[in-house]
């Protein structure tokens, strides 16, 4: 090559230089040696890359000359002596050209970069791309460099060894020469003396003397040497011992240094302050609240550490708090106590309870009854007594005098302030703490000598918020509530003790060994530190003691580790029990949380443990883990479910299913919250559904799915799926591929099938989805089947193999008596129908062949208690059953029952039954000692049907063999169920709250049975001619609608509805098989069928028998509640929050400030309170002269969280918020207040109103009415304006002090405006005519302004000149109609005329209010603003109302109505409904749906296809207001 690439030349220059410096015979030119001056480097300095640059010919020629021929060059390379490595110059030269990390760092240093640009370094990839042969040479050079670097340490070591050997040889030679020289010098001297010197006697004596002196010196030297040897040996031994001691103490030293570094001197005092704050404030808090408060306290305490970087602050953690308060030894002593749950929350509670320096006695809030058992195991000499025990005071005096601990349980905190003696006892703790010996204390009217060692522990089952303030201020209030981990450990221990006593003893022994060794570790470490801190720590004895202590420490540590390892090994063999204990702890937490719904639900830990151990005893050890756990879940679920009222069983079932799924890792908190209360997307804005297109203020991410994928899919279904996708990632890919996977048929079946809950979505779409995720998809697509889908979800979790749910099935009392162990009492809780309780219990006693005695308690006094005692003695003696009915009426009886059940009589066959009304509160101690069973009327359709048919068997079965008889009984039971449950679907299904009990059903069934019995006696056929009267369908319908159920119906509307439902289910032509989507089981059409198959047929109905809108006769709309959905909305969030309170790792929603576009959903389809932005504000007090930005924080004084929706905030304000919106809250609030003041009118002045009314007549009825209406509106508007102006003045910079906290209503006003909610103060001002508080603020204000404008127009135009009227705009529309009625009737009749014999009737028109310019004829009105509920409205030429599903929004606005007044028609008793169309129905018109009264007037509805009965079942009604 004449001009190879520059990189080839550079590499060849390196190789030639390498050969030259290593002694090879090569001719190297000056240009090559210069290297940096070559043209390659010059070009490289002027170019960013060597690619494409060729070497100059002259330079390449000098390289070729140095190489010689090829063979010679190869021989030079092969003969290179690389074994000894390269010289440093050669290595440096080569490394300077290589792209190593060190060279790259040097090139990137500022000093190098400041100069001229450097040449590009060579890499292996560059050499390979240049030429293959050059790449080999380059690799060879790099390998030699690497070898040289690796050889360098060995070379240095070899040179050092060689140098040492040379020094050793020189030393040996020097010693040899010195020895020879000494001999040489000594020999001539001795020889000379013998030959030349004459020795005299004196010389001999002198020499002898010198010799003796030399010997003495030698002896002394030997002694000294020996002494030095001994000292040396002692010092060496001491050194070895010290080194051994230091080596053995190294682990302790590292641990001590770590502990010391974690407690710097500047934060130690702050840790003490933090621990003190936790001791004072965190005792009454739940687990989650403790973590939050501790984090806040820690944040505040961090600011106290001065002269320290925030990253270097290492304050106390919550897990270290028990050790910091009590010390490690005391904590190990606590953990070693039996029945103490091993979790952090319990350890903190226990440390706060036994903390010796707290100046108050501990008051332990123990709902589970665990603290007493733990204190018994912890305290040695302890006396236990109850607050209401007669000997409690004697125990108190004795313990105080002897210095013994006293535990008083079941304290009634509400009673403590009334007991001066106990209040004095609570005040004496501080005196005892400071006393050095026994002292006299005034307790009540006594002066008691008290020992300083006296300790008092109080336990109560009362809630924290119910403890009186005076009691809480004198006690150390501590909540003793273990976490799930601690409950699981307790259950596991007891299960192991029952299952395998030997393994339990081994496990307990291992725990005991571990705790003993842990205590020993603490004790030995304290002794070691004490010796090291002493003055004689350098003594040999001290070192020996330290070695012995260290050996003891290591032995104890090894023993503890071995015990723990053995315990873990044993635990691996207990997988079955571990799994059961884990699931049982989950169920336990749900059962404990249910106590918040009703006081009667409170359950003790011991009872839950008893149920769990009962299953463990029955299960054995042969089942698989999954099978055992699933059966245990069902067993415990069934046991506790029967104790809940019917309305709460569904809540318990769903909550338990969600918690179990969460514990399995198959459900997240966000998914659970979305199921209970779906909200618009917080993370994403869905393109195509958002209110605005484009970027938005936050610049957030957008999900683009386009329009709905299938034509058959409704907009509401697609919108809910997009809302689901805006909250969760797992569905986004599913929606993205919804049209790509050819799954349209499957999705259509989900959207249109009758029972979508039976579809497995995960299999259908090919994605692995958890049950809760499938439920969310089903609920989004089929909201009308939400109840059924939730039921299927519950069943799949709690009992996958069962085809029915426990809460949907009547309680088996026969099975209950089998689990009713002697010594327990059964509490029967009833609701509205106590007769049902007595009926069931009597049937149960009869089946069990037992005598049942019923003692009804009236609370009359001691005589009643004596009579009750006699009944109880008789039952015990005879072995019979005794029912104490209505025990809630006698508090003395409740106290006696608590005492009696403490030591029950476990012998004999007698059973004690108790009954109480659900609305009364019973003592918690009693609730902990009884089996609770709810005997309330069933609330689910299937359970009510099963119970009703079972009851029908007793009075109406085997009466008739006609094929229509059993279907008729079925329909009567169904009618009874729907009449009771109709209100659960729709709050306004009945205008009055009718209570139809089991007795009404039994009366109807008895009558039908009697009718058919007479018919059977008369002959064949219902209309047969015989001696007896045949049964009549008309008579049956009449008796049911007018007597058995209609006797209590007072409303005409309800009477029509009842008759319509009776006609629908008791058809004149005989029972029908099909009723909408429900079909009567075919077995009912088989005469003389037995009860058991009929009940199985009801349970096996497909789809499952669930209360639906179709069965009740409704159209499904957003106002129809799906069975139990109202309970979910009201109860589930509260219960979930309670469960989160006792989780230390509970996650909280993010409070970061972010702007997200929300979906455009209607307020009726989503819950209120959904947020786009969340702010976290803290309570703080700022001076009046603070900056406005800082004073803005005081707007939310005493409020922890503020939710701010930015949907109505101007974009300019959003841009002004910046990164920290807290600094601009005042600006935002002031702008909102100013805008509200401008938009809301102030009302009318009195003179203006009077001036306008003059032309209508000041004394006319209309003038009086409109004057009253204007006064009310003016008062409302002025009250609202005053509140806004007060808030505006408070927020002004000239306002001094924190004036907003002095007026609490301003705080609510400010927060409501920030959250775009309606202030409570405004709702109170407007009254019942105001829209609901869940309306958006802007809509609420718009409605108020609209009503003002309407009144102003009526005030000006009057009654005669106003073309249309908006009756909903008046505060009292009934008064307006009375005025109109009076103005029409008065001119036509005398003063004593029958004015009440007329009525208003409205007709639909095809016009809107904007089309009317002139008022109607005299005596008529045009009204607008009326809304239709229960059906849709489509404007047609004939104005016929069709039975169509209402489209959003609900209710449906109607066009203009023409209101006239007519005489009331006379209704005859025998009037029959219209046989064929057109049908007419008088639709009632109410003021609102908030609570029906008598209708204002009726709307004449005509239809060619739908009869009045169908409209009545649809609950067709109109309201003047859309709420």
* 29-43, 890-904, 938-952, 1273-1287: least confident range: 29-43
Q: How far apart are CA 1263 and CA 1268, in angstroms?
A: 9
Question: Among 1417, 1386, 1399, which residue's Cα sits nearest to residue 1262?
Answer: 1386
Pick the most confident of 135-144, 999-1008, 1128-1137.
999-1008
* pLDDT tops 50 at residue 42: no
Q: Read off the tokens for 390.
A: 């007669």
Q: What is the pLDDT averaged over residues 1237-1258? A: 86
Phi, psi of 1496 (to 5 degrees): -70, -45
| Pairing assessment for the beta strands 1457-1463 and 1479-1486 based on DSSP bridges | unpaired
What pLDDT digit, counting tens, does each position of 860-913 carry? 888 888 888 888 888 888 888 889 998 988 888 888 888 888 776 666 678 888
Q: How far apart are CA 829 and CA 887, in angstroms?
A: 11
Q: What is the pLDDT averaged over residues 1499-1515? A: 88
Quick one: which H or E segment has residue 446?
Answer: strand 446-450
Q: What is the pLDDT averaged over residues 1078-1088? A: 87
The more confidently predicted of residues 1056 and 1298 is 1056
CB 305 within 8 A of CB 266: yes
Confidence band (pLDDT; 50, 70, 90) for 114?
Answer: very low
Confidence band (pLDDT; 50, 70, 90) for 1391?
Answer: very low
The more confidently predicted of residues 809 and 736 is 736
Cα 884 versus chain centre, distance: 41
Q: What is the pLDDT averaged over residues 74-102? A: 71
Q: Read off the tokens for 1019.
A: 């002959």
What pLDDT digit, counting tens, does each position of 181-230 carry? 555 554 554 444 445 556 677 877 888 888 888 888 888 888 888 888 88
Q: What residues contact 1110, with CB distance under 8 A and at least 6 apart?
A: 1076, 1077, 1078, 1116
What pLDDT digit, counting tens, does each position of 527-570 carry? 888 888 777 666 777 878 888 888 888 888 888 888 878 877 77
* pLDDT tops 70 at residue 120: no
CB 1328 within 8 A of CB 1306: no
Q: What is the pLDDT averaged over residues 754-767? A: 87
874-878: long-range contacts, CB 8 A cutoff, minimum separation 24: 875/910, 875/912, 876/905, 876/908, 876/910, 878/851, 878/910
pLDDT of residue 1198: 26
pLDDT of residue 1466: 64
pLDDT of residue 771: 92
* pLDDT tops 70 at residue 794: yes
Question: Among 38, 3, 2, 43, which residue's Cα sits nearest to residue 17?
Answer: 38
Q: For the chain, how far is it from start to end, CA to CA, in angstroms?
A: 96
pLDDT of residue 1396: 57
The more confidently predicted of residues 1225 and 607 is 607
| DSSP state at residue 1465 | P
The more confidently predicted of residues 189 and 1082 is 1082
CB 968 within 8 A of CB 1008: yes
Confidence band (pLDDT; 50, 70, 90) for 1473?
Answer: low
> If you count them, how many residues does the chain have?
1523
Taking the C-alpha atoms of 1315, 1321, 1327 and 1331 in order, what is their torsion angle to the nearest 10 degrees?
-10
Q: What is the pLDDT averaged over residues 100-108? A: 46
Q: What residues contact 427, with CB distance under 8 A and at least 6 apart?
A: 474
Q: Residue written as tokens 């074994």?
A: 83
pLDDT of residue 1369: 93
Confidence band (pLDDT; 50, 70, 90) for 943?
Answer: confident
Q: How far apart are CA 848 and CA 1361, in angstroms?
A: 80
Confidence band (pLDDT; 50, 70, 90) for 757?
Answer: confident
pLDDT of residue 1196: 30
pLDDT of residue 1150: 33
Confidence band (pLDDT; 50, 70, 90) for 1199?
Answer: very low
Q: What is the pLDDT averaged over residues 411-419? A: 88
Average pLDDT over all residues of the chain: 76
Q: How far apart are CA 935 and CA 918, in angstroms?
A: 10
What pLDDT digit, counting tens, does each position of 1000-1031 carry? 998 999 999 888 888 776 655 444 444 445 56
CB 462 within 8 A of CB 412: yes
What pLDDT digit, counting tens, does each position of 1305-1354 carry? 788 888 888 878 899 999 999 988 899 887 888 889 999 999 999 999 99
CB 1460 within 8 A of CB 1341: no
Radius of gyration of the chain measured on its C-alpha atoms: 47
Q: What residues contact 130, with CB distance under 8 A and at least 6 apart?
A: 5, 7, 8, 11
279 C-beta neighbours (distance < 10 Å), count: 19
Question: Among 943, 944, 942, 950, which residue's Cα sits nearest to residue 1094?
Answer: 950
């Amino acid at each position: 090559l004449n001009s190879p690439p520059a990189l080839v030349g550079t590499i060849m220059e390196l190789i030639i230089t390498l050969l030259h410096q290593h002694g090879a015979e090569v001719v190297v030119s000056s240009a090559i040696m210069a290297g940096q001056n070559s043209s390659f480097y010059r070009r490289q300095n002027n170019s960013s890359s060597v690619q494409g640059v060729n070497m100059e010919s002259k330079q390449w020629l000098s390289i070729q000359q140095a190489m010689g021929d090829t063979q010679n060059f190869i021989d030079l390379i092969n003969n290179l002596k690389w074994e000894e490595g390269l010289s440093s110059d050669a290595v440096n030269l080569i490394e300077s050209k290589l792209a190593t990390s060190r060279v790259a760092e040097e090139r990137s240093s500022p000093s190098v970069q400041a100069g001229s640009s450097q040449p590009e370094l060579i890499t292996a990839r560059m050499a390979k791309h240049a030429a293959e042969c050059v790449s080999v040479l380059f690799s060879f050079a790099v390998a030699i460099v690497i070898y040289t670097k690796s050889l360098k340490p060995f070379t240095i070591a070899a040179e050092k060894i060689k140098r040492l050997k040379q020094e050793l040889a020189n030393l040996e030679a020097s010693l040899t020469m010195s020895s020879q020289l000494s001999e040489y010098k000594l020999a001539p001297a001795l020889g000379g003396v013998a030959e030349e010197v004459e020795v005299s006697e004196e010389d001999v004596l002198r020499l002898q003397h010198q010799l003796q002196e030399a010997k003495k010196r030698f002896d002394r030297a030997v002694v000294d040497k020996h002494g030095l040897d001994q000292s040396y040996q002692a010092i060496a031994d001491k050194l070895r011992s010290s080194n051994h001691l230091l080596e053995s103490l190294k682990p302790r030293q590292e641990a001590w240094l770590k502990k010391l570094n974690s407690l710097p001197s500047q934060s130690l005092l702050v840790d003490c302050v933090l621990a003190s704050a936790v001791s004072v404030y965190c005792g009454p808090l739940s687990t989650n609240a403790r973590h939050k408060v501790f984090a806040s306290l820690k944040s505040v305490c961090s600011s106290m550490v001065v002269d320290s970087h925030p990253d270097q602050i290492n304050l106390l953690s919550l897990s270290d708090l028990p050790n910091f308060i009590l010390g490690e030894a005391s904590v190990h002593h606590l953990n070693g106590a039996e029945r103490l749950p091993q979790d952090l929350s319990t350890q903190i509670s226990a440390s706060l309870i036994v903390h010796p320096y707290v100046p108050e006695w501990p008051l332990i809030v123990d709902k589970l009854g665990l603290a007493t058992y733990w204190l018994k195991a912890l305290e040695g000499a302890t006396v236990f007594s109850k607050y209401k025990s007669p000997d409690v005071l004697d125990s108190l005096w004795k313990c105080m005098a002897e210095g013994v601990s006293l535990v008083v349980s079941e304290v009634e905190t509400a009673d403590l302030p009334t007991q001066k003696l106990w209040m004095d006892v609570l005040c004496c703790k501080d005196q005892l703490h400071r006393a050095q010996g026994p002292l006299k204390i005034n307790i009540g009217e006594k002066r008691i000598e008290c020992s300083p060692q006296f300790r008092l522990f109080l336990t109560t089952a009362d809630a924290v918020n119910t403890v009186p303030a005076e009691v809480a201020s004198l006690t150390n209030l501590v909540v003793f509530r273990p976490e799930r981990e601690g409950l699981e450990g307790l259950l596991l221990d007891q299960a192991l003790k029952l299952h395998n006593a030997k393994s339990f003893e081994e496990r307990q022994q291992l725990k005991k060994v571990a705790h003993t060794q842990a205590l020993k570790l603490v004790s030995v470490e304290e002794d070691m530190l004490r010796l090291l801190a002493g003055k004689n720590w350098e003594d040999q004895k001290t070192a020996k003691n330290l070695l012995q202590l260290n050996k003891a420490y290591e032995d104890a540590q090894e023993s503890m580790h071995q015990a723990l390892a053995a315990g873990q090994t044993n635990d691996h063999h207990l997988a079955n029990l571990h799994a059961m204990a884990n699931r049982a702890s989950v169920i336990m937490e749900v059962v404990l949380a249910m106590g918040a719904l009703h006081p009667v639900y409170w359950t003790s830990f011991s009872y839950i443990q008893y149920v769990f151990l009962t299953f463990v005893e029955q299960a054995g050890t042969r089942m698989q883990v999954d099978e055992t756990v699933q059966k245990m879940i069902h067993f415990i679920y069934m046991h506790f479910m029967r104790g809940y009222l019917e309305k709460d069983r569904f809540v318990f079932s769903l909550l338990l299913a969600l918690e179990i799924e969460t514990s399995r890792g198959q459900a997240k908190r966000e998914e659970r919250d979305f199921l209970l209360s779906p909200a618009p997307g917080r993370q994403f804005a869905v393109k195509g559904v958002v209110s605005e297109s484009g970027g938005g203020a936050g610049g957030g991410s957008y999900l683009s799915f386009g329009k709905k994928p299938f034509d058959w899919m409704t907009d509401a279904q697609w919108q809910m799926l997009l809302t689901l996708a805006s909250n969760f990632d797992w569905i986004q890919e599913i929606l993205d591929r919804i049209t790509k996977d050819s799954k349209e048929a499957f999705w259509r079946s989900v959207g249109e099938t009758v029972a979508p809950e039976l579809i497995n979505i995960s299999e259908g779409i090919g994605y692995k989805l958890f049950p809760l995720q499938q439920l969310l998809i089903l609920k989004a697509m089929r909201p009308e089947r939400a109840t059924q889908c939730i039921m299927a979800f519950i069943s799949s979790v709690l009992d996958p193999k069962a085809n029915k749910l426990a809460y949907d099935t009547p309680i088996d009392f026969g099975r209950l008596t089998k689990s009713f162990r002697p010594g327990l009492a059964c509490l029967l809780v009833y609701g509205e129908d106590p007769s049902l309780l007595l009926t069931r219990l009597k049937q149960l006693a009869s089946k069990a062949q037992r005598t049942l005695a019923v003692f009804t308690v009236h609370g009359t006094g001691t005589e009643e208690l004596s009579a009750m005692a006699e009944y109880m003695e008789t039952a015990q003696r005879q072995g019979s059953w005794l029912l104490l009915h209505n025990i809630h009426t006698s508090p003395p009886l409740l106290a006696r029952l608590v005492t009696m059940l403490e030591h029950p009589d476990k012998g004999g066959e007698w059973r004690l039954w108790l009954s109480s009304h659900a609305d009364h509160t019973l003592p918690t101690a009693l609730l902990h000692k009884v089996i609770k069973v709810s005997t309330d009327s069933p609330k689910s359709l299937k359970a009510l049907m099963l119970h009703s048919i079972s009851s029908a068997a007793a009075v109406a079965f085997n009466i008739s063999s006609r094929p229509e008889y059993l279907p008729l009984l079925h329909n009567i039971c169904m009618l009874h169920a729907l009449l009771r449950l109709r209100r659960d679907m729709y709050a306004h299904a009945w205008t009055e709250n009718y209570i139809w009990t089991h007795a009404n059903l039994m009366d109807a069934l008895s009558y039908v049975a009697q009718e058919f019995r007479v018919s059977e006696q008369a002959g064949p056929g219902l209309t047969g001619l015989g001696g007896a009267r045949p049964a009549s369908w008309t008579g049956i319908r009449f008796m049911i609608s007018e007597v058995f159920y209609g006797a209590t119906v007072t409303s005409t509307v309800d009477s029509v509805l009842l008759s319509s439902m009776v006609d629908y289910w008791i058809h004149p032509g005989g029972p029908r098989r099909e009723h909408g989507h429900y079909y009567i089981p075919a077995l009912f059409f088989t005469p003389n069928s037995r009860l058991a198959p009929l009940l199985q047929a009801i349970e096996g109905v497909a789809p499952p028998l669930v209360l639906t809108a179709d069965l009740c006769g409704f159209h499904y709309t957003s106002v129809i509640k799906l069975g139990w959905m109202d309970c979910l909305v009201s109860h589930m969030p509260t219960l979930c929050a309670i469960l989160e309170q006792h989780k230390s790792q509970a996650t909280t929603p993010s409070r970061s400030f972010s702007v997200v576009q929300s979906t455009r959903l209607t307020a009726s389809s989503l819950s209120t309170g959904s947020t786009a932005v969340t702010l976290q504000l803290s309570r703080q007090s700022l001076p009046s002269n603070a900056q406005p930005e800082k004073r803005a924080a005081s707007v939310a004084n005493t409020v922890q969280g503020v939710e701010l929706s930015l949907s109505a905030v101007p974009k300019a304000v959003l841009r002004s918020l910046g990164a920290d919106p807290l600094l601009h809250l005042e600006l935002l609030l002031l702008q909102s207040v100013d805008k509200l003041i401008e938009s809301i009118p102030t009302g009318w002045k009195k003179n203006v109103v009077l001036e306008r009314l003059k032309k209508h007549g000041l004394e006319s009825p209309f003038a009086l009415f409109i004057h009253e209406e204007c006064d009310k509106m003016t008062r409302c508007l002025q009250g609202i304006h005053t509140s806004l102006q007060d808030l505006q003045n408070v927020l002004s910079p000239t306002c001094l002090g924190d004036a907003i906290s002095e007026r609490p209503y301003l705080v609510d006003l400010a927060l409501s405006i920030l959250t775009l909610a309606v202030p409570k103060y405004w709702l109170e001002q407007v009254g019942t005519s105001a829209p609901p508080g869940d309306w958006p603020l802007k809509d609420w204000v718009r409605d108020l302004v609209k009503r003002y404008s309407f009144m102003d127009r009526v005030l000006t135009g009057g009654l005669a000149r106003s073309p249309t009227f908006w009756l909903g705009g008046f505060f009292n529309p009934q008064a307006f109609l009375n005025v109109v009625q009076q103005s029409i009737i008065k001119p036509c009749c005398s003063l004593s005329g029958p004015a009440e014999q007329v009525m208003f009737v409205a007709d639909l028109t095809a016009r809107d209010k904007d089309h009317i310019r002139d008022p109607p004829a005299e005596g008529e009105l045009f009204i607008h603003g009326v809304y239709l509920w229960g059906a849709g409205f489509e404007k047609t030429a004939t104005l016929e109302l069709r039975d169509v599903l209402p489209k959003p929004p609900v209710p449906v606005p109607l066009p203009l109505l023409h209101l006239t007044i007519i005489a009331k028609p006379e209704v005859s008793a025998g009037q029959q409904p219209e046989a064929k169309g057109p049908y007419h129905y008088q639709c009632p018109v109410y003021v609102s749906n908030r609570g029906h009264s008598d209708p204002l007037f009726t709307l004449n509805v005509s239809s060619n296809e739908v009869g009045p009965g169908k409209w009545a079942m649809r609950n067709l009604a109109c309201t003047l207001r859309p709420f």
